[in-house]
Amino acid sequence: MNRNAIRTLVTGIAIVTSALFAVGSHAQTDIAASCSAERDANLAVVLGLYDTVLNAHDTGTAAAYIASDFVWHTQQAQGLEGFIGFYMGIFGSFPDVARTPSLCIVEDDVVVVYSTIIGTHEGDLLGVPASGNPIAYTSMDVFRVADGIIVEQWDQGDYLTLFTQIGVIPPLGGGQ
């Protein structure tokens, strides 16, 4: 799948996501059923990464999901070691962080996951000291899977919400 096709897919997902918010949380619960690992081997790889590495914080198993030459298009971290280092930092900042997928789309070798990320800011994050504040924000991740392993990733998170919740950015409208 070429970059233009991936851009088109991500744009389509953004439209679907907007519609999802319009219908409410009942639709989100129903859509979570679309994240069934039996449906597709590529989806099973990505959901395995979510369950084992991202939610259970078991970076020792990352090599089962992430290629050694992994390319992360939206982060400076590259390769398996960069991926592990990035998440070790995240787990230090948010020891209870967890992701809940609510929408999964599979097209050929591409898996898109829209999820909610929750946790508590208990450690330094990019120079921002622990606030003790809870976080809850959304993220859309696009993975390319080849031969049963993730080789590329693009992601877009709602970092405005995250940085507001940990006190880096004041709340919009001046509220507390």
Tell me, what's the pLDDT at 22? 43
Q: What is the model's pTM?
A: 0.78
Query: What percent of the chain lies above the pLDDT cut of 70?
Result: 76
> Is residue 158 classed as helix, strand or coil in its secondary structure?
coil
Token pair for 30: 């129903």
Q: Would you state the pLDDT for residue 37?
A: 45
pLDDT band for position 156 (50/70/90)? very high
pLDDT for the residue 7? 54
49, 67 contact by CB (below 8 A): no
Confidence band for 40, pLDDT divided at 50, 70 and 90:
confident
pLDDT at 4 over 90: no
- Residues with Cβ within 8 Å of 114's Cβ and at least 6 positions away in sequence, in order, are 13, 17, 20, 101, 102, 103, 104, 138, 139, 140
Q: CATH number of 3-170: 3.10.450.50, 3.40.640.10, 2.60.40.790, 1.20.1600.10?
A: 3.10.450.50
| Start-to-end Cα distance in the chain | 45
